[in-house]
Structure formats: C-alpha cells, structure tokens
C-alpha cells in the first residue's frame, strides 16, 4: 500500500531537494527495548559503577536521541575486571567439567533466542542498522555461535588438537561497532567453550547489546567473573585491557590502524593475539554470470549494514563487455532501495553509526570526485536528524584512486573493469588487504581457479556476505590473522 507523505529535508548528502514523492506505508517494529537510563560495567557477576563515577552517553544514530548512559572505564576498572576473570578462571571455570561448561554456553544461546526481538530492537537503536537485518541476521547469527560452540565444549579431547588441550586463561576481547552483538558472540562463545574467562570491551558508540548479553549471562547463572563487560573509550579502557599483564590472550576486531598499534605494543609480551581488521573486497562479475542474481549479490555485498562491513564488496570488478549493462541494472535496482527509519521493517539502509564515520565516508566520496571518478546516487530523501549517507556508485574509477584502495566502510561502491580472468585476479589482489572476495560465473572450473588465485580469507561463489558458525572467517595481510568460526576459531583459544 502506498500513500502520499510530506517529506523532511535532506541533511547530508546527495543534493536531492525535498519534494513530494510517493512513500511506502511504514510498518514499525514496536517491541520495547527496555533500555535502562544507565548501566555500570558487568564485573564479577554484578553491574558496578566506574571507579571514577563517570558515565558517557550512547545515542541513536538515526535520530540523535540519547538512549542511555554507561560507565566510563578506567584502568582501575580494568584491574577489577581482570582480577574477577582470573579468580573465576582458577576457581570455577577451568576446573568445571566440560559437560557443565557446554550446558552454560548452551543456556546463553537459548536465552539469546528467547530475547531475540528485544535484542534486535536494541541493536537497531544503538547501531542504526535496519531492523530486518538485526532481526534476521545479527541476533540469529549470535545465538547460532553459542549453540555451535556449546557443542564443542565437551569434545575437545576428540577434536584432533592432540592430548589434553588447555584453555589459554583470561581473554581480553575488543570489538567494533558494526555488528556489536554478533562480534561479542564470535568472541565469547569459542573462548568460553574452550574454558577461558573473558573481559569484553564493546565499542563506545554501541555498548548496549553487550550489556544486555551480560544480563543474559547473569540470568544463565554463569559463575561470577567468567564473563565481564567493560564499557569505555578504546584509548583508555581498551588500551589498558590489552596491556594488562593479567591477560593471556588478546582478541581484537577493528580498524587496521589500531590493530597494527596493538601488534607493536604486544610484541615480546608472550600474549596470544588474533586480529580481525579491515578489508577492500573485490566482487568479480564475469560475462557468463547469472546477471539478476549477481545484481542482488552486488547490492547485498556493499549496501548490507550500510556498507559498514569489514568484508563488504566495495570494489565491483566487472567484465568489460557487460560493464554498461551491469551498471544500468544496478542503478535501476538502487532506485528501489529504501533508506530511512531503521525500525521500519521495510527499510533497506539505515543510519551511519557515528559522526566520525560519516565524515570519513564524505571525505572519501569527495576525494573520488576530485580524482575524476563519476559519482551517482539514486534520488532519495534523507532524514533531517542523525547520520545519513545515500547509496553511492562511482564509475570511471582507476585502481590508483583512493576510493579503489582505501576502506570506506560505508555505502559506496567503486566500479572497475577487466577483460580476462588473469586481469581480474591481478586487480582483485592489488590491495594491502585480504579478507574476502566474490566470484560470479557459471563456470565451476573458473570458480575453483579464481578461489586458488585470490588472496582473501573467504571467497564466495555466486553469493556474497554468507556466514555460518562452522566456517572459519578471517584475513590475510593487513586484514589481520587468526580465524573466527569453526574449529580454527576454537583453536585460537587453546594451548595444544
Ligand atoms: P576501531 O579500531 O576504531 O575500534 C575497534 C575497537 O577497538 C573499539 O572497541 C574501540 O574502542 C577499541 N580501541 C580503539 N583504540 C584502542 C586502543 N588503542 N587499544 C585498544 N582498543 C582500542 O574500529 P571501529 O571503527 O570500531 O570498527 C571499524 C573497523 O573494524 C573497520 O576497519 C572494519 O573493517 C573493522 N572490522 C573488521 C572485522 C573483521 O572481522 N575483520 C569485523 C568488523 C569490523
């Protein structure tokens, strides 16, 4: 059903003037998120204030509204959290029978499923992503991780890790804002199943779903201190956590820049380290590809989660003979994307998570134009409050342009062309990253050959952005090292 609606002014953007247009009737998610006015850290099984007594705001990026206040983590808070995790490791978690550990991890999985609606709404409010994505992707993928690793916990002796695999001890885990709950699940589930205890620090712009997860951990009755959640700034709480001598393993997901700093800072400390960093994935479309399916894959590859995805298909490499046709079809499809209220179940693209990220996207898009690429966005009217950027496609892109080399982490696609499979491989590998790639072709032999040639941790064939807890995920080169998911994800938390 469609109806006429008055529209608000475009705020950031694509130069489209507000005008009368046909808007789709909305269908808003109405489940309450039950957000408390303030939250402490979750340390030793209880919510406690910061040692400084200070708090900071977390806001809804789609509206600017303050959602809650959370504790500002200090080095003293980190001391407390690490001490709680150490005590829990020695007293409760490590001595516990693996079958009991499995049961606890399973309880967390079940509680996530039971509270899935509430978690989805909370994630959408704090992050800005469309409700259909948090409902159908983030939350189910998070519970799936706990379910999957619960199954490993009592089978470690038979998993081919050698005799008597041991947990590493206390894990310090730092996560980004793009998939806050799912990143927490990717970190906590394998660590707990392997017998480690954890101190998790969510990103400062998206602390709420990790705090709700802490509540779930409390309700699942995990021994106190097995999971601790500490909120605060990366430069203070994050830095103190990874540097803490009581931490045995650092697991970091975030920007390549901070990842490199961590690698330098941890050199010689003997701590285990895994890094999941940035990407600049190529999505490669051959002239024999199933085109309509490929167009959907291109759109999903770069506009899923507003392109704020480390493995986003941000470089479209399309075979020259079909490039014009693909761009034309792509533009037509982008014209149908709905950008706006993230709580509307029909929304395809929500808000950008924070002001700094929006500025980075704007700066790189301007650099793209300045360097001679051609910028295009469909007509769309962006909400007047919050952080917004329209879906954007650049053609006439040269491999030397910044938009072809740098991670934008936003809804911006750079289109490049190739003539031969060899040229496609050379262009795809012409990056300092190596996280993921996509290949679209009907030829099975070509898929296998490409998968062997592409320097990327994941290669999707005739699909993109597909995830499963059983599949290891991770990168090469400046995309980091170590794998999350599957058996390798467990090995990253074991001494074997
Ligand atoms: P970021 O590096 O700014 O922050 C990530 C986390 O690190 C946050 O919790 C932050 O508070 C913390 N942090 C910041 N400085 C720190 C320091 N000095 N010491 C310890 N912790 C510190 O990244 P972001 O902006 O939150 O996330 C976006 C980036 O994450 C992108 O580059 C994206 O590609 C990457 N990412 C990678 C993956 C992957 O699996 N490879 C997944 C999601 C996001």
Q: Which of 61, 234, 458 to mutate to test the pocket of ligand 1 (most atoms within 8 A of CB)?
A: 234
From the CB of residue 63, how many other CB atoms can be counted at a distance below 10 Å? 17
The residue assigned the tokens 């529209």 is: 7
Catalytic position from the list 29, 133, 198, 310: 310
The pLDDT score that the predictor gives to residue 57 is 98
The pLDDT score that the predictor gives to residue 219 is 96
Ligand 1 proximity of 434 Cβ (cutoff 6 Å): no
Ligand 1 proximity of 391 Cβ (cutoff 6 Å): no
> Cα of 253 to ligand 1 centre, how many Å?
5
Q: Please give the mean pLDDT across all residues of the chain.
A: 94
Residue 4 falls in the annotated catalytic set: no
The pLDDT score that the predictor gives to residue 163 is 86
Residue 380 falls in the annotated catalytic set: no
In 3D space, the residue among 315, 313, 322 whose CA is nearest the CA of residue 290 turns out to be 322
> Which tokens hold the place of 360?
């980075």
Spatial strand order of the sheet with 38-39 comes to 38-39, 66-71, 55-59
Q: Are 119 and 53 spatial neighbours (Cβ–Cβ below 8 Å)?
A: no
pLDDT over 70, % of the chain: 95
From the CB of residue 296, how many other CB atoms can be counted at a distance below 10 Å? 14
> Cα of 179 to ligand 1 centre, how many Å?
11
As a whole number of angstroms, the distance between CA 217 and CA 199 comes to 13
Which is higher by pLDDT, 222 or 19?
Answer: 222
- The pLDDT tens digits for 99-110 are 999 999 999 999
What is the helix, strand, coil percentage profile of the chain, to 5? Answer: 40, 20, 40
> Cα of 372 to ligand 1 centre, how many Å?
31
The pLDDT score that the predictor gives to residue 267 is 95
Catalytic position from the list 29, 276, 308, 478: 276
As a whole number of angstroms, the distance between CA 470 and CA 427 comes to 30
* Domains of the chain, start order: 38-276+476-495 (3.40.605.10), 282-461 (3.40.309.10)
As a whole number of angstroms, the distance between CA 382 and CA 350 comes to 10
Sorting pLDDT into bands at 50, 70 and 90, what band is 25? low
Q: What is the pTM of this model?
A: 0.94
Beta bridge partners, 415, equal: 316
In 3D space, the residue among 377, 412, 40 whose CA is nearest the CA of residue 231 turns out to be 40
The residue assigned the tokens 């200090």 is: 74
């Amino acid at each position: 059903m469609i109806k006429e609606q008055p529209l608000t002014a475009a705020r950031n953007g694509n130069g489209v003037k507000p005008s009368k247009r046909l808007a789709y009737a909305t269908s808003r998610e109405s489940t309450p998120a039950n957000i408390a006015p303030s939250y402490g850290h979750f340390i030793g099984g209880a919510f406690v204030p910061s040692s400084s007594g200070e708090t900071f705001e977390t806001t809804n990026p789609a509206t600017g509204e303050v959602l809650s206040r959370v504790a500002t983590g200090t080095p003293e808070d980190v001391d407390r959290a690490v001490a709680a995790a150490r005590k829990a490791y020695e007293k409760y978690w490590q001595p516990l029978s693996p079958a009991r550990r499995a049961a606890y991890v399973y309880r967390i999985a079940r509680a996530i499923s039971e509270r899935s609606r509430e978690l989805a709404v909370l994630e959408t409010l704090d992050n800005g992503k469309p409700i259909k994505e948090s409902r159908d992707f983030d939350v189910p993928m998070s519970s799936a991780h706990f379910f999957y690793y619960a199954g490993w916990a009592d089978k470690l002796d038979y998993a081919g890790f050698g005799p008597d695999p041991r947990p590493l001890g206390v894990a310090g885990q730092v996560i980004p804002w793009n998939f806050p709950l799912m990143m927490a699940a990717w970190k906590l589930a394998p660590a707990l199943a392997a017998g480690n205890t954890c101190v998790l620090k969510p990103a400062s712009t998206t602390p709420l779903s990790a705090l709700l997860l802490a509540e779930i951990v409390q309700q699942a009755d995990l021994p106190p201190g097995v999971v601790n959640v500490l909120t605060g700034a990366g430069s203070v709480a994050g830095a103190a956590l990874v540097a803490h001598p009581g931490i045995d393993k650092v697991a970091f997901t975030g920007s390549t820049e901070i990842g490199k700093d961590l690698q330098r800072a941890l050199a010689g400390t003997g701590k285990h380290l895994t890094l999941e960093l940035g990407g600049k994935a190529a999505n490669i479309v051959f002239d024999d590809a199933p085109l309509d399916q490929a167009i959907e894959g291109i759109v999903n590859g770069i506009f899923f989660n507003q392109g704020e995805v480390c493995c986003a298909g941000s470089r479209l490499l399309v075979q020259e003979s079909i490039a014009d046709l693909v761009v034309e079809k792509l533009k037509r499809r982008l014209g149908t994307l709905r950008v706006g209220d993230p709580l509307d179940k029909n929304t395809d693209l929500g808000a950008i998570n924070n002001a700094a990220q929006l500025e980075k996207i704007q700066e790189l898009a301007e650099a793209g134009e300045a360097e001679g690429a051609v910028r295009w966005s469909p007509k769309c009217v962006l909400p007047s409050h919050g952080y917004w950027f329209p879906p954007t496609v650049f053609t006439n892109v040269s491999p030397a342009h910044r938009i072809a080399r740098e991670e934008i982490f936003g809804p911006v696609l750079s289109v490049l062309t190739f003539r031969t499979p060899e040229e496609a491989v050379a262009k795809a590998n012409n990056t300092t990253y190596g996280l993921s790639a996509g290949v679209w072709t009907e030829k099975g032999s070509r898929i296998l050959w490409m998968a062997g040639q592409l320097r990327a941790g994941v290669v999707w064939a005739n699909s993109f952005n597909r995830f499963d807890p059983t599949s290891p995920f991770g990168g090469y080169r400046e995309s980091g090292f170590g794998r999350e998911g599957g058996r390798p994800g467990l090995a990253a938390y074991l001494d074997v």
